[in-house]
Structure 1
Amino acid sequence: MAGINTSIFSAHSTRHASSSAALRKGISLDVIHKTAGWSEKSQTFAKTYNLPLAAENDFAKAIMQ
């Protein structure tokens, strides 16, 4: 109903989007790690989650505000 292609994006996709958005908004990696339940030395965020947006658009901006 929101226009999201669920064959590509799942509920788990929100973890990727929210943790990356939090970093862009200035939240520290320490807080992101603690909130996600990752250890301080975890590389999960750096390797898998902290990816650049393909393209900024009005839809993405509206969702992330």
Structure 2
Amino acid sequence: MRLAGGAIAQRTKRLPQPSAHTEDLRTATLRLLDAMEPVIDKLNARYGHRVAGPAAAYRRAS
């Protein structure tokens, strides 16, 4: 997650073994998003609705 000041917060999760299977990668991605959801909810509660969310939901600043 990139914050307004330019700082980056990130999480990593290793799969038990290497995988090229779409389902394995999709499941791991969804678990990471679920883990970040409480943080995003707290940011939105504190600073206003939609201050944090998926990057695809926001237009690029110009």
* Structure of greater Rg: 2
Shared fold (TM-score, shorter chain, > 0.5): no
What TM-score comes out, normalization by structure 1 length? Answer: 0.29
